Amino acid sequence: MAYVSVKGGEKAIENAHQWLAEERRGDPTVEEVAVAQIREQLSLAVDRVMAEGSCYDRDLAALAVKQAGGDLPEAIFLVRAYRTTLPRFGGSEPVDTERMNVRRRISAAFKDIPGGQVLGPTFDYTHRLLDFRLAADGAAPPEPAPLANEPQAWPMPTIGSVFAHEDLLEHDVRSGDDAPFDLTREPMSFPAGRDQRLQALARGDEGFLLSLAYSSQRGWGSTHPLCGEIRLGEVAVEFIPEELGFPIEIGEVTLTECQMLSGFAGSAQKAPQFTRGYGLAFGHSERKAMSMAIVDRALRRGEVGEDVDAPVQDEEFVLYHSDNVEASGFVQHLKLPHYVDFQADLQLVRRLRREHFERLNPSKEAAE
């Protein structure tokens, strides 16, 4: 009798959800974490949820992190399922990252570039030693970092402008004035334009893109990348309301942008020059933006005449498998019952085993 269980029903689901809420809250004698605390003090988690959730709203993303108990792909899923129901009143003008209020901007290509190297708030060069002072309650807020003597350059020239007078770096050209492809409204289609690809990568799982970028660096479809520039800061978002006919500023968003440079040997028609891979993500997301830029460049192998032999260069492989909401759902759907299909398999395997046995023991069968 031991293994027969009553099939799950509505009551079981409700009880499970209640238990989940209890586990999320943890020990009730410990103070509950507030959404504002997550928004302010776990801001990098919030950034990732906004980036992969394709929805710039710090409060919503913080709420999702809280509701998901810190499970970021789950939080991303919550935000996606919310944003899909929002009405769309229009598209903004393209943001201009040259006019970004830069908090961080570095280039690995030149020792100094117009606008200068700005280190900004970064984990780089920190020693990864656990800081036990953070475990102590009631510590005073850290001292504000000192201000620079000179105000920052604005607008901050991009890496493209450094090469502006030579044709050393390819120019990014817009393919047309058509509205950009929108994966949230249309299914994936191949071959993918760069708009579709960049949107898919921007929504793509950071871990997946990181591993792909790493595989490329290790020689599985290498692009020999060099970090032309990373910048982090706030840009204005402009929108043209129909009744006005001119752009008005409706807010600002924090962005991380990465321009990765790669060599190009040239062809019969084109002289050798540097090519670019592009990465852009909401919030402070450098690992994501850099990975995205490497993968973007690797996927341009057709344009630059490189052979396709590595996963990172394969458009269908990369774009079909980068979305963690799709991937997580489908992998985890294996938890759903499959006993109808398993019964079909069981029956077949039993039959094949019987036939196999009969083939090996013909005399025994005759004797029976």
Binding site for other proteins (CB under 8 A): 1-4, 6-13, 77, 80-81, 83-85, 87, 184-191, 316, 320, 325-326, 328-333, 336-341, 343-348, 352, 355
What DSSP character marks residue 293? H
Instruction: Please give the C-alpha separations between residue 86 and each of 82, 114, 182, 248, in angstroms, as whole numbers.
Output: 7, 42, 15, 22
Tokens representing 100 are 């970004």
DSSP secondary structure, 130-153, as one string: --GGGGSTTPPPPPPPPPPSSPPP
φ, ψ dihedrals at 306, nearest 5°: -90, 150
Asked if residues 232 and 310 have their Cβ atoms less than 8 Å apart, the reply is: no
- Residue number, 274 or 320, with CB nearest to other proteins: 320
Q: Which residue is listed with tokens 């586990």?
A: 23
- Residue number, 119 or 346, with CB nearest to other proteins: 346
Q: How far is the CB of 82 from other proteins (least distance, A)?
A: 9
Q: How far is the CB of 297 from other proteins (least distance, A)?
A: 22
- Residue number, 146 or 187, with CB nearest to other proteins: 187
Whether the bond between 144 and the residue before it is cis, its omega within 30 degrees of 0, is no
Q: Which residue is listed with tokens 């991303």?
A: 76
- The CA distance from 209 to 290, in Å, is 9
Order of strands, sheet of 248-264, starting from the edge strand that comes earlier in the sequence? 101-106, 226-239, 248-264, 273-282
- Residue number, 175 or 332, with CB nearest to other proteins: 332
Q: How far is the CB of 80 from other proteins (least distance, A)?
A: 4
Tokens representing 54 are 């394709």
Q: How far is the CB of 242 from other proteins (least distance, A)?
A: 18
Letter string b/e over residues 194-216, b meaning 16 or more CB atoms within 10 A of that residue's CB: bbbbbbbbbbbbbebbbebbebb
- Residue number, 77 or 282, with CB nearest to other proteins: 77
Q: Cβ of 61: how many Cβ atoms within 10 Å?
A: 31
Tokens representing 296 are 């973007």
Q: How far is the CB of 11 from other proteins (least distance, A)?
A: 4
- Residue number, 54 or 256, with CB nearest to other proteins: 54
Q: Which residue is listed with tokens 């309650």?
A: 137
Q: How far is the CB of 21 from other proteins (least distance, A)?
A: 14
Q: How far is the CB of 277 from other proteins (least distance, A)?
A: 23
- Residue number, 224 or 353, with CB nearest to other proteins: 353
Helix ranges (DSSP H) in 163-265: 194-203, 206-217
- Residue number, 103 or 321, with CB nearest to other proteins: 321
Q: How far is the CB of 35 from other proteins (least distance, A)?
A: 17
